[in-house]
Structure 1
Amino acid sequence: MEPLIPVITKLQEVFSVVGREIIQLPQIVIFGSQSSGKSSLLESIVGRDFLPKGSGIMTRRPLILQLVHVASLEERQATSPETYIQAEEWATFLHNKHKAISLAPLYMTICSSKVLNLTLVDLPGLTKVPVGDQPPDIEMLVRDLNLSYIINPSCLILAVTAANTDMSTSESLKLAREVDPDGRRTLAVITKLDLMDAGTDAMDVLTGRVVPVKLGIIGVVNRNQQDLHTHKSISEVLCDEQVFLQKKYPSLASQNGTPFLAKTLNRLFMHHIRDCLPELKTRVNVLTAQYQSMLQSYGQPVQDQNATLLQIITKFATEYCNTIEGTAKNIETSELCGGARICYIFHETFCRTLESIDPLAGLTILDILTAIRNATGPRPALFIPEVSFELLVKRQIKRLEEPSLRCVELVHEELQRVIQHCSTYNTKELLRFPKLHEAIVEVVTGLLRKRLPITNEMVHNLMAIELAYINTKHPDLADMTFVSSSISGNKVLGGGRPASPHLVPGLSPR
């Protein structure tokens, strides 16, 4: 089972590229309250200083730490003297500066003969109050980030709590119980055993009498601030830890401490991988079948990319034109489409709208009277002034502009629908190249959108042309009675006698 951990570690690197949400791999997540000693605990396990320390939130992104056990320098030199790495231990680390909390994880791999094979995830510490440059919702951001990792059923939870705080109020154990009520994935770690108040100890806590934890509770001693100032090495701290445990907790010394924690994690991780393997294998098989099917649907490799590109674009353009002309191979039977619908818009929808417009709607006799009188000034007129006629006629002609613009909009919408129609019947080829499909749709849509204001402007110009010249020679005008007989005589001319009928165009003698 031991070789499984390096395999999982390698898979972690692969899924860091394709996305970790595809398959939830087994891992150990370390989380706890801010300044609970998580970073110092990790450094003690690794045996090196490599994490930031200080007040406030120092861990701002998830750190996926991969520990890889390698042979010692002497062993590697003896087995492969030409290709071995001339270093006792080494690490690879991609680092970016971040002031705020980020969901994007950092990946760090440490290869050493002094570590056990493990995959650990260090998360930002749980906090309550934002300080400095932290966002006001820092508490919820950190909590949600921690939950997104520990809720994964494939991860082991390492809940860290400081010994100088009340175990019953541990925020890490509270969250762990929410996502792991049975406790099958939770291991508790009590840090800072040497910082407890004088006269107190953690015996009840370490034996599980205060808060029982199914996988156990392990106590450790971290480097304190004085150790950091004096640059005490981690090896010296581990020696001091054993001395402290033997002196303070002699009966529990062999079941606590950082070395025992590392071995326990290695054992639990190995068994956890074994338990997750059946489900993991099933998930991999399902995804493999799905992607194999998708790969086969893409067809054979493209030999000539330029020719294939031109062929797909030409086929799409031909299908688009054929749909409008009515010569497409795939003809809709359930609804009008393409050119047929455009024809319907012009000859049915647009025509009915024009026919429904009453030429005299909104034009009252009072409006006509007022326009005529305003055009004649202080003198009564014998003839109807052309100015008032053109004024009233232009106002009625202007009403034709709105349905004309609506007709343009309907045609534009149908041309947009033709794009989806052509995409539907070119599904296989376009699904093979989804980005090309998006580009074609975007270009055609953009072209139609670009021509829409130009077409609307043409409609405006046509209306302006009609309004610029009123054709009084049109034969239809001679047959129209555009001035009612009820407004003849005094009502039209304002005089005391009715005017002669022949003086008013459009009126016939009674």
Structure 2
Amino acid sequence: MEKLIATINKLQDVFDKIGDRSDVIELPEIVVVGSQSAGKSSVMEGIVGKDFLPRGTGVVTRQPLLIRLIRTPLNDPNRKKGLENIDWATFQHTGDKVFTNFQEVRKEIQDETDRGSGKNKGISEKKISLNIYSDKVVNLSLTDLPGITKNPVGDQPKDIEAQIKKMIKTYIENPKSLILAVTPANTDFATSESLSLAREFDPSGERTICVLTKLDIMDRGTNATAVLTGSLIPVKLGIIGVVNRSQADIDATEPKSIQECIADEENYLKKNYPNLADENGIPYLAKTLSEVSMLALF
């Protein structure tokens, strides 16, 4: 099965290069959907285990970002000289250039976004394709889309919300795509933009996974047990709660590493959701997404 995923990654590279999104061959795709402040970036970085996504105010992801995680054991013969013991990344648009510094990966995403979408915070349908090779990831392909925003800022077009939703719909209307609906635990689920869009195109919830972010900042005296056990949100592929890295963790003089935050998340889940701890958290989410994407091939 691992080899099958690797073959599909190569096929996706070919289709991206020739610009073919036809239905001749439909490959399963996990589409990440959420509002601007839902915590999508923290979830993605947690899954990858790296700080690599641009951050800031307003709509930061302004083009579809296809991230392929390719598990590459340290003894893998595909590791080239100089890459025997480290993780690396490549972009489709930079050819054979290899990135070993993930701060440079972040800068390249930002630079390519500015080239494709301009610097005025507008969006573009042009996809950025990024491959990440590591012995610590699961084989997985994720497409991160711009976060849904209500109010345009700066030079953004007045219909920025409609533009973003239109882009999201072109991805999730494909019946073979999987929807990763990212929703904060401290908001009203009835008004969740990601769940609303998921319900529109997947009313039975057969291909939707809900990620419940920010579990640790729910109102005092409340918890997410009813949601995490599936009592409130009808999705068939699961509801997984995570604890996001806080902005204070990121901005600290000595920022907390993603690995430290995942350890904190594990402790939080064991303390507050002891009966559900093993089926929540970033590591469980990554494992579940990999398994679900493989099953979707058949």
Q: CA deviation at 1:83?
A: 5.1
- Tell me the secondary structure at the aligned position of residue 3 of structure 1: helix
1:57 partner letter? V
Picking from 156, 160, 165, the partner of 2:178 is 156
Q: CA deviation at 1:183?
A: 1.4
Match of 2:21 in 1: 21
Q: CA deviation at 1:214?
A: 1.2
* Aligned counterparts of 1:54 and 1:199: Cα–Cα separation in 2: 31
* Aligned counterparts of 1:20 and 1:134: Cα–Cα separation in 2: 29
Match of 1:293 in 2: none
Q: 2:46 touches 2:258 (CA, 8 Å); kept in 1?
A: yes
Picking from 99, 104, 111, the partner of 2:126 is 104
Match of 1:146 in 2: 168
Does 1:209 find its partner at 2:216? no
Q: Map 1:147-226 onto structure 2 (within 5 A).
A: 147-226=169-248
Q: Structure 2, unaligned stretches of length 5 or more? A: 94-108
The 3 A distance-change label for structure 1 pair 82 and 254 is: closer
Does 1:243 find its partner at 2:267? yes
* Aligned counterparts of 2:219 and 2:209: Cα–Cα separation in 1: 25
* Aligned counterparts of 2:174 and 2:20: Cα–Cα separation in 1: 11
Q: 1:167 touches 1:205 (CA, 8 Å); kept in 2?
A: no
CA distances 1:105-132 after superposition (whole Å, capped 9, x unpaired): 1000000000000010000011111111
Q: CA deviation at 1:82?
A: 8.0
- Tell me the secondary structure at the aligned position of residue 39 of structure 1: helix
Q: CA deviation at 1:58?
A: 0.4
1:250 partner letter? P
Does 1:137 find its partner at 2:182? no
Match of 2:5 in 1: 5
The 3 A distance-change label for structure 1 pair 242 and 19 is: same
| Structure with higher helix content | 1
* Aligned counterparts of 2:79 and 2:198: Cα–Cα separation in 1: 48
CA distances 1:399-432 after superposition (whole Å, capped 9, x unpaired): xxxxxxxxxxxxxxxxxxxxxxxxxxxxxxxxxx
Q: Map 1:396-475 onto structure 2 (within 5 A).
A: none
Picking from 247, 256, 259, the partner of 1:232 is 256
Q: Structure 1, unaligned stretches of length 5 or more? A: 276-510
1:262 partner letter? A
CA distances 1:1-54 after superposition (whole Å, capped 9, x unpaired): 222111111111111111231243211111111110111100000000010112
For the pair shown, the structure with the greater C-alpha radius of gyration is: 1
Does 1:88 find its partner at 2:110? no
What is the aligned-residue identity percentage? 54
* Aligned counterparts of 2:199 and 2:4: Cα–Cα separation in 1: 28
Q: 2:185 touches 2:212 (CA, 8 Å); kept in 1?
A: yes
Q: Map 1:475-494 onto structure 2 (within 5 A).
A: none
2:48 partner letter? V
* Aligned counterparts of 1:181 and 1:157: Cα–Cα separation in 2: 12
* Aligned counterparts of 1:63 and 1:81: Cα–Cα separation in 2: 24
TM-score where L is the length of structure 1: 0.51
2:11 partner letter? L
Q: 1:70 touches 1:111 (CA, 8 Å); kept in 2?
A: yes
* Aligned counterparts of 1:176 and 1:265: Cα–Cα separation in 2: 17
Q: Map 1:312-323 onto structure 2 (within 5 A).
A: none
CA distances 1:351-401 after superposition (whole Å, capped 9, x unpaired): xxxxxxxxxxxxxxxxxxxxxxxxxxxxxxxxxxxxxxxxxxxxxxxxxxx
The 3 A distance-change label for structure 1 pair 20 and 160 is: farther
The 3 A distance-change label for structure 1 pair 199 and 84 is: same
CA distances 1:130-175 after superposition (whole Å, capped 9, x unpaired): 1112111101100000000011112111000011101122111111
Match of 2:97 in 1: none
2:4 partner letter? L
* Aligned counterparts of 1:234 and 1:188: Cα–Cα separation in 2: 21
Q: Which has the higher contact order (CA 8 A, sep 6+)?
A: 2
* Aligned counterparts of 1:64 and 1:10: Cα–Cα separation in 2: 13
Match of 2:294 in 1: 270
1:9 partner letter? N
Q: 2:213 touches 2:242 (CA, 8 Å); kept in 1?
A: yes
Over aligned residue pairs, what C-alpha RMSD do you find? Answer: 1.6
- Tell me the secondary structure at the aligned position of residue 4 of structure 1: helix
* Aligned counterparts of 1:240 and 1:83: Cα–Cα separation in 2: 36
Match of 1:65 in 2: 67
Picking from 26, 42, 45, the partner of 1:43 is 45
CA distances 1:444-480 after superposition (whole Å, capped 9, x unpaired): xxxxxxxxxxxxxxxxxxxxxxxxxxxxxxxxxxxxx
Q: 2:177 touches 2:207 (CA, 8 Å); kept in 1?
A: yes
Q: 2:205 touches 2:234 (CA, 8 Å); kept in 1?
A: no
Q: 2:204 touches 2:235 (CA, 8 Å); kept in 1?
A: no
The 3 A distance-change label for structure 1 pair 80 and 59 is: closer
Q: CA deviation at 1:194?
A: 0.9
TM-score where L is the length of structure 2: 0.87
